Amino acid sequence: MVGDPGPYLLLAAVLFVIGAFGVISRRGAITILMSIELMLNSANLALIAVSRFLPGDGGAGVPDGQVIGFLVLAIAAAEVAVGLAIVIAMFRLRESVDVDLARLLRW
Amino acid sequence: MPEFQHFAALPTLVPAAFGLVFLVFAPFIGSDKKWMWAFTTAAMGLTILIPAIILSKIGLYGDVLETAGVAGQYMVRTDRLALWLDILFGIAGLLALLVTPAYLERANSHRPEIYPLFLIAVSGMTAMVGSDHLVMIFVGLEVLSITLYVMCGLARERAVQVEAALKYFLLGAFSTSFLVFGLALILGATGRLDIPGIAGAVLGVGAGTLWNETLLLAGLALFLIAFAFKVGAVPFHFWVPDVYQGAPTPVTAFMAAGTKAAAFGVLLRVLYAGFSGAETIVDRWAPVIAGLAVATMVVGNVLALVQTRVKRLLAYSSVAHAGYLLLALVPATSGAHAGEIVGGPALLFYLFTYTFMTVGAFIVAALFQSDREDADHFAQFAGLWHRRPLLAAAMGVFLLSLTGIPPLGGFTGKYVIFLSVLDAGHPVLAAIMAIAAVIGAAYYLRVLMLMFIAQPEEDLAARLVTPGPARLALAVAVVATFVLGIAPFVLYDPLLTVMRAAAF
Amino acid sequence: MSQNLLAFSVLAALAVITPIAILGLSYVAGPARSRRVTDLTPYECGVKPYHSARGRFSVKFYLVAMLFIIFDVEAVFIYPWARVLRERAGTPEGWFLFWVMMIFLGVLTVGFVYEWGRGALEWDR
């Protein structure tokens, strides 16, 4: 390691935990989706931070993490599109996006 | 060693290309989609054939990690492990496809997209297991997962399916973010994301080349959490019963067999080839896997006892089986193979038997589909033997095999895992596995008793139609279950020599 | 570590103090309440809004946004590709890179043809 990515990883971890808390505590499907996005983007921040501080390329870091960041962005977009489609389908059936109302499947 | 190079990517490219081509046609064809189904099934057959041909070129026997070909700097690395699993994915997809038209007919759902989506999901699975790079594994996993979210919720007007898709999506995306964060930490700790690079860094744990051991372990932990979600291991199993029950039954069958095989293939490769180098690291993750396995076996089997629906019962049974499979991943503590995953061949063998018996059982459940809300309730299965003896016999074979009754594949599979766990020097774990399997016998027997002893409902026979393709799928599954039980060596011998030679 | 942590804590402290300071200043220095009625209306100039802005939007907007997002984000790959391609233009590797992107765009086109065929691009449906 050239330099120390510690603070960035700390920030990423804090964002990740906030996102995870949002997923667990919220009931609106859209809010949960946003929390998941927050988690994915905190992971992106961590990826880019560590790739900047890794030894290599004369102290400029290795590009791996940044390239992966692109991939994660694109995949997250595809995931969110499918997720929103499912949420809209749910809304058309229920007139609500409250995940607590999704209770057909129990026991 | 023949290097096919770009041929190495064929097991992934072929299903992906066919899937995309067929998908373009999906919006433009009417409700008569027989040819779409026929072409997709043929393409799925081709996706079984291609890895089989490559495998026969490099020979069945030999090092499991011997490379048949590499493309794109380790991004695609096709070896025996990948080829065996590619064949397995194709089989799972093909069996599920054979029953899909009958199911869609009965469920009154007409969406031809579901056929090409099977192919795209298979391409995601093959990308996952046929790679030596964690990023490619991630991309493959996402191709698979996103396709499955869509397949679950394809019938938008059915509340149950949309609900299953929503739950699967939310928890799947949640676990994905764990995986990405884990990748970031592993990259930070080792500077590499290709498995040989990680293995090199892990070897240097004591030598100080590893930047930060804590970071590596945290990354591995997040990676394991993500994959525990995907295989449905306790305590990350909440989505399994709901999604398996809500999803279209052929998709459930495909999901139960295929996703599990892909995730376990990745776990085997990453843990064995990536994180087995240093004893200090192995000592950290081995107890985690063992703990997950025990919890999964016990909780899965106990919760299955109180189920009243066949699909939900099979879902909990699938959780329990994830436990048995996890047990095969626990590395040996002592002896000549200390620190190695001796259960590798047993794991692969059990994945094959599990595919045939669970897909078979789900196919029978799919034939029960109707517009009724309680289509897969136990009561519907009562007296099946008196009305449809052949169907009841097939279901009986699958359930007995899942229980682990001797001459069937499920018994041999459990037996080789049991032996490998003893081999690895974990008698306590082996005993827990045996107890869990005995608990499991109770709920399978409940269904069997209902089918064979109880008196049938009146309208049962009239409602059950078994078209030719579904019969073919059931026959294949039954025969394979018997063959793997009576002559396990046809599959186990190649797998075993393979792995022992590779110091598995 | 400690130096960076110091920088981080300073940043964190600033992040907390700045909004409090701004809000406090506006509370102290800003007008306690609006003197004229028009200041309270949404556009502050007398133009009256038709109806509440909190009404529901048609689900079609979400649909279009969703379709847009996918194609928009894929464009992110084209820029780094173009930079690399310029360095290697004319070489065999350059042609390989060229066709890789053509295949990628072809896959995107498959998605586009699909959504067009499904009628997702028609606003009045």
Degrees, nearest 5: CA angle B236-B241-B244: 115
Asked, for residue C123, whether it belongs to a domain, the answer is no
pLDDT at B500 (0 to 100): 46
pLDDT, greater one: B155 or B40: B40
> Considering only CA atoms, which of C73, C76, C77, C100 is closest in space to residue C88?
C100
Q: Is C117 close to B23, i.e. CB distance below 8 A?
A: no
Average pLDDT over residues B384-407: 88
pLDDT score of C36: 62
Classify residue A42: in a domain, yes or no. yes
- Nearest-5° Cα angle at B198, A5 to B178: 60
For chain C, what percentages of helix, strand and coil (3-state, to nearest 5) are there?
Answer: 70, 0, 30
What are B76's strand-pairing partners? Answer: B71
Farthest-apart Cα atoms in chain B, separation: 74
Residues in C closer than 8 angstroms to A52, CB to CB, are none
Distance between CA atoms of residues B54 and B6, nearest Å: 12
C15 touches chain A (CB under 8 A): no
B396: its two tokens: 């009986």
Per the CB < 8 A criterion, the answer to whether B318 and B232 are in contact is yes
Q: Report the C-alpha gap between A11 and A15 in whole angstroms.
A: 6
Q: What is the mean pLDDT of residues B284-309?
A: 89
Per-residue pLDDT for A107 more than 60? Answer: no
* pLDDT score of B502: 42
- Structural domains in chain A (count): 1
List Cβ neighbours of B67 (8 Å cut-off, separation of 6 or more).
Answer: B1, B3, B8, B77, B78, B79
Query: Is C103 within a domain?
Result: yes
Q: How confident is the model at residue B68 (pLDDT cuts 50, 70, 90)?
A: low
In a domain, C125, yes or no: no
Q: Does C117 touch chain B (CB under 8 A)?
A: yes
Summarize pLDDT for B103-128 with one digit per residue, the tens.
888 877 778 888 999 999 999 999 99
> What is the reported pTM?
0.87
Check if B200 contacts A (Cβ < 8 Å). Answer: no
State how far residue A58 is from chain C, nearest Cα, in angstroms. 20
For residue B384, what pLDDT is reported? 80
Give the per-residue pLDDT at C39. Answer: 61
Interchain contact C67–A (C-beta under 8 A): yes
Distances (CA, A) of B292 to B207, B216, B229, B495: 31, 20, 11, 25
- pLDDT at B485 exceeding the cut of 70: yes
Distance of CA B379 to the CA centre of its chain: 29
Tell me if C124 is assigned to some domain.
Answer: no
C-alpha distance from C101 to closest chain B C-alpha (Å): 15
Q: What is the ipTM of this complex?
A: 0.93
Does any domain span residue A52? yes
Of A9, A23, A40, the CB nearest to B180: A40
Is the minimum CB–CB distance between C73 and chain B shorter than 8 Å? no
Q: Is A86 on the interface with B (CB under 8 A)?
A: yes
Q: When comparing pLDDT for C58 and C13, which is higher?
A: C13
CATH number of the domain that residue A41 is part of:
1.10.287.3510
More confident residue, B219 or A2: B219
> Residue C102 is part of which domain span?
2-118
Please tell me which of the candidates C66, C74, C76 has its beta carbon nearest to residue A84. Answer: C66
Please name the residue that has the structure tokens 């990517």. Answer: B9
The C-alpha of C82 sits at a distance from chain B's nearest C-alpha, in angstroms, of 19
Stretch (H or E) spanning B17: helix B10-25
Residue-by-residue DSSP string for B137-159: HHHHHHHHHHHHHHHHT-STT-H
Distances (CA, A) of B290 to A8, B84, B324, B424: 34, 25, 10, 12
Mean of the pLDDT values across residues C67-81? Answer: 84
Q: What pLDDT band is residue B426 in, cutting at 50, 70 and 90?
A: confident
- Say whether C42 sits in a helix, a strand or coil: coil
Q: Is C59 on the interface with A (CB under 8 A)?
A: yes
Total domain count, chain C: 1
Reference C7, options A59, A5, A44, B215; nearest CA is A5
Q: What is the pLDDT of residues B353-368, one digit of tens each?
A: 999 999 999 999 888 8
Residue B64 distance to chain A (closest CA, Å): 29
Is the residue at A34 inside a domain?
yes
Q: Is residue A1 part of a domain?
A: no
Does residue A26 sit within a domain? yes
Beta bridge pairs of residue B194? B133
Q: Backbone phi, then psi, for B77, in 5-degree steps? A: -140, 100
| Percentage of the residues of chain B whose pLDDT score is greater than 90 | 35
**Can you give the residue range of the structural domain that contains A75?**
6-105
DSSP per position, B36-90: HHHHHHHHHHHHHHHHHHHHHHH-SSS-TT-EEEEETTTTEEEEHHHHHHHHHHH
Q: Distance (Å, rounded) from C-alpha B77 to C-alpha B54? A: 13
- Mean pLDDT of the residues in chain C: 79
Rounded mean pLDDT, B433-461: 83
Supply the CATH number for residue C18's domain.
1.20.58.1610
Residue B497: per-residue pLDDT: 62
Summarize pLDDT for A35-92 with one digit per residue, the tens. Answer: 999 999 999 999 998 888 877 656 666 778 888 898 899 999 889 889 988 888 888 8
Q: DSSP per residue over B162-229, as a string? A: HHHHHHHHHHHHHHHHHHHHHHHHHHHHHS--BHHHHHHHHHTTTTT-SS-HHHHHHHHHHHHHHHHH
In a domain, residue C96? The reply is yes
From its phi and psi, is residue A51 left (phi > 0), alpha (psi between -120 and 50) or beta? Answer: alpha
Region of residue C91 (phi > 0: left; psi between -120 and 50: alpha; otherwise: beta): beta
pLDDT digits 0-9 by tens, B324-351: 999 988 887 766 666 677 788 888 899 9
